[in-house]
């Protein structure tokens, strides 16, 4: 029997800072090393023919980090988006993004839009970057959107159900994740896709994100394939 492949994989890329600390390096070096694991994750998903890959790249809480680290992360993001555009096109990868994107500085935001536009015609893997993203903020924004539709007479409150609510979330164009991977051994969701992962399978990897490579990604998918997904049924 062929291996069951998740249509949508979401990843909490945790451990960049600890990876750098263990090596006596600045935290920004951990983030740079983590970018290589992003490349390998994209390659793994392309090989496995996964349709969607969502990466928790920068949370709404990350803005609270020291200004120097935030600036370094934004610089790395802008460079990644610029340098990887051709590679994404070569791999037929379409870039998308979710979150409160307008909170991003002008440089990274402009480059994000350019790379999204440059890859819009690709038909392979859809890579979704969660940027300035928080699940609680997403749910609040979804509620506000529904309230506006009700106020404007576009939505009958009696018609509101989970399917309607889905259509007001950042992720309305994508299916829910089938598999959530978290690295660094931490056992928490960190305000990531709380609505969407209701029935996702979860794989916790002990490796820090910069050490999590293509083989580890394949192992996580194999663990997913071995599970019996019942979605609350028997």
Pick the CATH number of 8-134+176-225 from 3.40.50.12780, 3.40.50.10470, 3.30.200.20, 3.40.1180.10: 3.40.1180.10
Of these residues, 51, 62, 141, 191, which one is catalytic? 62
Predicted pLDDT of residue 234: 54
Two structure tokens written together for 33:
């090393």
| Residue 142 CB burial class (10 angstroms; 0-12, 13-18, ≥19) | buried
| Residue 145 CB burial class (10 angstroms; 0-12, 13-18, ≥19) | middle
Average pLDDT on 165-185 reads 98
How far apart CA 35 and CA 163 sit, in angstroms, is: 35
Predicted pLDDT of residue 143: 98
Q: Tell me whether residue 62 is one of the annotated catalytic residues.
A: yes
Residue 170 has pLDDT above 90, yes or no: yes
Q: Tell me whether residue 14 is one of the annotated catalytic residues.
A: yes
Average pLDDT on 130-148 reads 98
Average pLDDT on 138-162 reads 97
Predicted pLDDT of residue 1: 36
Of 48, 62, 53, nearest to 179 by C-alpha is 53
Predicted pLDDT of residue 231: 66
Of these residues, 14, 16, 178, 216, which one is catalytic? 14
Residue 232 has pLDDT above 70, yes or no: no
- pLDDT per position as a tens digit, 192-224: 999 999 999 999 999 999 999 999 999 999 999
- Any idea where the domains of the chain sit in the sequence? 8-134+176-225
In the three-class reduction of DSSP (H, G, I as helix; E, B as strand; rest coil), residue 130 is classed as: strand
Q: Would you give the end-to-end CA distance of the chain in angstroms?
A: 22
How far apart CA 62 and CA 169 sit, in angstroms, is: 21
The structure's pTM equals 0.94
- pLDDT per position as a tens digit, 51-81: 999 999 999 999 999 999 999 999 999 999 9
């Amino acid at each position: 029997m062929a291996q069951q492949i998740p249509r949508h994989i979401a990843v909490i890329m945790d451990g960049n800072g600890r990876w750098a600390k263990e090596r006596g390096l600045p935290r920004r070096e951990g983030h740079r090393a983590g970018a290589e694991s992003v490349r390998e994750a994209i390659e793994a998903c392309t090989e496995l023919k996964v349709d969607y890959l969502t990466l928790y790249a920068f949370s709404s809480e990350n803005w609270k980090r020291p200004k120097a680290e935030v600036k370094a992360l934004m610089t790395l993001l802008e460079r990644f988006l610029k340098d990887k555009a051709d590679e994404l096109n070569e791999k037929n990868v379409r870039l998308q993004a979710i979150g409160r994107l307008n909170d991003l500085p002008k440089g990274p935001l402009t480059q994000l839009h350019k790379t999204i536009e440059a890859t819009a015609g690709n038909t392979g893997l859809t890579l979704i970057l969660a940027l300035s993203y928080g699940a609680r903020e997403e749910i609040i924004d979804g509620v506000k959107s529904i309230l506006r539709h009700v106020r404007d007479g576009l939505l009958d409150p009696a018609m509101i159900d989970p399917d309607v609510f889905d259509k007001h979330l950042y992720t309305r164009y994508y299916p829910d994740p089938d598999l959530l991977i978290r690295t660094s051994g931490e056992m928490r969701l960190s305000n990531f896709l709380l609505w969407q992962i209701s029935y996702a399978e979860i794989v916790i990897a002990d490796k820090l994100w910069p050490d999590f490579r293509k083989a580890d990604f394949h192992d996580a998918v194999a663990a997913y394939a071995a599970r019996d997904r019942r979605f609350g049924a028997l």
